[in-house]
Amino acid sequence: MCGVVGLLLADTESHNEAAYLLFESLFYLQHRGQQACGIATCGGKGRVYQCKGNGMAAKVFQEGARVTDLPGYMGVGHLRYPTAGTSSSAESQPFYCNSPYGICLAHNGNLINATELRRYLDEDAHRHVNTDSDSELMLNIFANALNETGKARVNVEDIFRSLTQTYQKCQGAWAATGMIAGFGILAFRDAHGIRPLLIGSRPSATIEGAKDYMIASESIALRQLGFKDFRDLLPGEAVFIRKGGRAEFKQVAERKSFTPDIFEYVYFSRPDSVLDSIPVHKSRQNMGVKLADKIRETIGEEGLRGIDVVIPVPETSNTAAAVVSERLKIPLSNAFVKNRYVFRTFILPGQKLRQKSVRRKLSAIESEFKGRTVLLVDDSIVRGTTSREIVSMAREAGAVKVYFASCAPPLVYPHIYGIDLASPQEMIAHEKTREDIAQLIGADDLIYQDLDALKQACAEAAPKDGVKEFEVGVFCGKYQTAVPEGYFEHLDAIRGQKRLSSDDSILKESITASSGPVNGVRAKTSFESEGGLTHRTHSPSPSSAHDEDFPPQNREDISIHNIASENN
């Protein structure tokens, strides 16, 4: 999962206000990605400038000092979420392609037919792809479609037609913002509406009657920067805003469904955002109502009478826990204190790093636990790492009995649309009963939300004519898109190769979404075909390896000059 932004100011004489606004927007979306970020802008004569690299926004842009080096009146921004792949800064976004016309792209999601796309770009389109990112694949598919117009200058309809061709070739989920040098910005969303994307506008501060436009993954970025009248891009819809013009919308692909990823509401999005007309805060309140009823059904009135306090696991579960407390008439206590200077443990790469980070992230107020029966409420349980540590901390603080409740159902299937949760074998609920999981995390009892109740909680927060169904494949194995034969085995094999690596300096082949590898080579490989997908089996040979087998962590993108790499 990542965050994307796009911006076009009506005043083309703006020096670097676009970069400042894009930089500010990254802070409102920082929760969507903490591994890398970047901004690309376009100034006079269509020249493109970029600053991107590993790290959070404040670090990459040197607390804003680098923003002055990004002139221009329009641009795109990106935040990368750490997944199973390389952390090379070459994978940071936006990506740039000089031919045709100078195109930048920032992409959130995952292409599940990446192997097929790479083969097409190589054998048919004859386009070089310099990284292992599925995002760069999408950029080149779009660029190739534009190139086939054969024009020296394209118009808006050419843009939309090329996007239609892009949708015909790409499979998966995406929300993307892009920029065509000297022409304008664009944004587009997958045909199922799985990944979120909104557009808003505001009056220009310098040109009467004109409008500035911003596009972002979440409404909070638009609202905080003064953009209003925002609306969601619909499934299969695209928008293009040319320099000095107005937003032009087009259905570039037939809508196949309107099924946002429900994990956005469970965990990923900020509670002060509104996605697809569903307030995230309201959806989590509804989750609390449904979860409270499930808790009562599971442990009964007698069990409820024995609970002294409801304690949320901060921060995503705070809203639901407050409603659980109110509905069950049990006192609420914010007895876990969150260290605000620690990353979200869910999106940290590596099991050991996640485990160590839990106690760095949370500490218990002992007086709220000592001698009490506690009901802990969390948004979800993935691997069980965090849950196990939290239950242990509750007992160390003196809790005599620990109930654990999850706002989400058991996660037992891979997430294939841009969130690298875990392989099924790594998920604690895989082939286990509720009682088994409770024992593994050390809880006296465990209560899961039902899937139907979770869907109802989100649907009931939507307008009457709004979203009613959601992408929930991670819970039930039924995905919105067709999944290529052998894809899950491909994912498992690659994850397994990475775990079995005996040399940390060798970055094994891996698959990630939105700026990570999709089928890159990190060691000597041989090829096997299974289910229409190409598998690469590794035979590491350091003594005979080429430079590309051992890429430096901060390998640079070759596209355009990156001011983040300057030594100042």
DSSP letter string over 33-89?
Answer: --SEEEEEEE-GGG-EEEEEEES-HHHHTGGGGGGGG---SEEEEEEEPP-SS---G
Would you say 54 and 65 are in contact if contact means Cβ atoms under 8 Å apart?
no
**CA–CA separation, 537 vs 58, rounded Å?**
39
Residue 268 host element (H or E): none
Tell me if residue 90 falls in helix, strand or coil: helix
Catalytic residue selected from 2, 42, 97, 407:
2
Residues across the chain: 568
Angstrom distances, CA of residue 389 to CA of 268, 436, 440: 21, 17, 11
Cα 169 from Cα 150, distance rounded (Å): 20
Active site residue 2: yes
User: What is the per-residue DSSP string for 146-157?
Assistant: HHTT--SS--HH
**CA angle, 117 as apex, 151 and 519 as ends, to 5°?**
135
Under a CB-based contact definition with an 8 Å cutoff, are residues 120 and 169 in contact?
yes
Quick one: which of 295, 351, 363 has its CA closest to 328? Answer: 295
Name the phi and psi angles at 420, rounded to 5: -85, 75
User: In angstroms, rounded to a whole number, what is the distance separating the alpha carbons of residues 94 and 76?
Assistant: 7
Asked if 442 and 131 count as a contact pair (C-beta separation under 8 A), the reply is: no
Cβ neighbors of 63 (< 8 A, separation 6 or more) are none
Looking up tokens 């006079």 gives 44
Q: Comparing C-alpha atoms, which of 68, 65, 64 is closest to residue 43?
A: 68
Q: Which amino acid is at 449?
A: Q
List residues bridging with 364 in a β-sheet: 336
Separation between Cα atoms, residue 536 and residue 490, nearest integer Å: 9
Please return the burial class of 130, using the count of CB atoms within 10 Å of its CB with bins 0-12, 13-18 and 19+. Answer: middle
**What H or E segment, with its residue span, contains residue 493?**
helix 487-499
CB-side exposure of 553: number of CA atoms within 13 Å? 7
| N-terminal to C-terminal alpha carbon distance within the chain | 32
Contact 404, 387 (CB under 8 A): yes
C-beta separation of 196 from 276 below 8 A: yes
Task: Indicate the DSSP class of residue 562.
Answer: B
**φ, ψ (nearest 5 deg) of residue 323:** -70, -40
Give the residue among 495, 362, 361 at the shortest CA–CA distance from 426.
Answer: 495
Just list the catalytic residues: 2
